[in-house]
């Protein structure tokens, strides 16, 4: 009699991709990293790769987010500190982004969405997984809608503040960073490309373009 061989089936650990975002160059997109590291450590997991960018959550075109989505495979996890890190989008754009995430089979885990924490476990049965997906999808929609409303409310209050300041003759517009403008002008005159200037100064391409158009000598 040959001894019976016991076959052990193991479930692969799905990869975790962490996404960090801040709206402007002046904000620190990396500020939420510690919270995500602590969260994954408490779950006895680790982050496979980090993706970080300074882009508005109200626009769909975000290079690092879509690089993450391109790399991630079915069963992988998109980890964020808050749902508004991935979306302050309007309804149409949010539905498109959610469709991409859903089609690829990527699970979104957010620290402000406790119903998503179960995706960090790898031993859930099929029924539990389907229930989690359904519940999490509903909660994601709700938090994405709240994030969009918060964005629109802040924009409205900002516009009202500017209008009031203009009526009182106190509005002077956005303060110009003369030092930044001088540095951009110097780099443009030296033949540096837009990408090189963005890398060196951390400014936006739209700012560089605006300065280039306003200076006929460049």
Query: 126-149: per-residue pLDDT in tens?
Result: 666 677 777 778 878 887 888 888
User: Which one of the listed residues 23, 56, 137, 204 is annotated catalytic?
Assistant: 23
pLDDT at 186 over 90: no
Tens-place pLDDT, residues 25-51: 767 888 899 999 999 999 999 999 999
Res 205: pLDDT:
83
DSSP letter (8 states) at residue 6: P
**Order of strands across the sheet that contains 16-22:** 49-54, 16-22, 77-80, 107-110
Instruction: State the Cα–Cα distance between residues 120 and 10, nearest whole angstrom.
Output: 16
List beta partners, residue 53. Answer: 21
pLDDT at 9 over 90: no
Secondary structure of residue 192 in the 3-state scheme = coil
Tens-place pLDDT, residues 60-111: 989 999 999 999 999 899 999 999 999 999 999 999 999 999 999 999 999 9
Instruction: State the Cα–Cα distance between residues 196 and 200, nearest whole angstrom.
Output: 6
Instruction: State the Cα–Cα distance between residues 85 and 58, nearest whole angstrom.
Output: 10
- Residue 46 annotated as catalytic: no
Asked whether 57 and 82 are in contact (CB, 8 A), the reply is no
Res 6: pLDDT:
39
Res 176: pLDDT:
66
Res 76: pLDDT:
94
Instruction: State the Cα–Cα distance between residues 10 and 23, nearest whole angstrom.
Output: 41
Provide the token pair at 199.
Answer: 């890398």
Provide the token pair at 51.
Answer: 């993706």
Which residue would you say has higher pLDDT here, 206 or 32? Answer: 32
Query: For the ranges 16-25, 51-60, 183-192, which has the lowest average pLDDT?
Result: 183-192
Tens-place pLDDT, residues 106-125: 999 999 999 899 888 766 66
Res 46: pLDDT:
94
Confirm or reject CATH 3.30.470.20 for domain 16-147, answering yes or no.
no
DSSP letter (8 states) at residue 50: E
Our measurement of the distance from residue 57's CA atom to the centroid of its chain's CA atoms, rounded to an integer in Å, reads 7
**Where do the structural domains in the chain lie, given as residue ranges?**
16-147, 178-214
CA angle 126/94/99 to nearest 5° reads: 40
């Amino acid at each position: 009699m040959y001894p019976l061989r016991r076959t052990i089936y193991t479930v692969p650990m799905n990869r975790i991709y962490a996404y960090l975002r801040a709206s402007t160059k002046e904000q620190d997109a990396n500020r939420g990293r510690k919270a995500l590291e602590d969260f994954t450590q408490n779950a006895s997991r680790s982050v496979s790769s980090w993706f970080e960018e300074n882009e508005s959550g109200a626009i769909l075109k975000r290079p690092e987010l879509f690089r993450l989505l391109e790399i991630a495979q079915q069963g992988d996890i998109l980890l964020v500190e808050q749902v508004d890190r991935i979306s302050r989008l309007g309804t149409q754009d949010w539905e498109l982004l959610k469709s991409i995430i859903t089609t690829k089979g990527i699970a979104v885990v957010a620290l402000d969405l406790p119903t998503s924490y179960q995706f960090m476990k790898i031993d859930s049965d099929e029924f539990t997984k389907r229930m989690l997906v359904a519940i999490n999808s509903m909660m994601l929609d709700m938090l994405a809608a709240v994030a969009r409303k918060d964005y629109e409310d802040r924009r409205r209050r900002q516009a009202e503040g500017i209008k009031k300041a203009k009526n009182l003759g106190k509005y002077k517009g956005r303060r110009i960073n003369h030092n930044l403008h001088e540095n951009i002008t110097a780099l443009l005159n030296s033949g540096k490309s837009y990408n090189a200037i963005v890398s060196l100064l951390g400014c936006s391409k739209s700012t560089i373009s605006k300065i280039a158009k306003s200076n006929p000598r460049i």
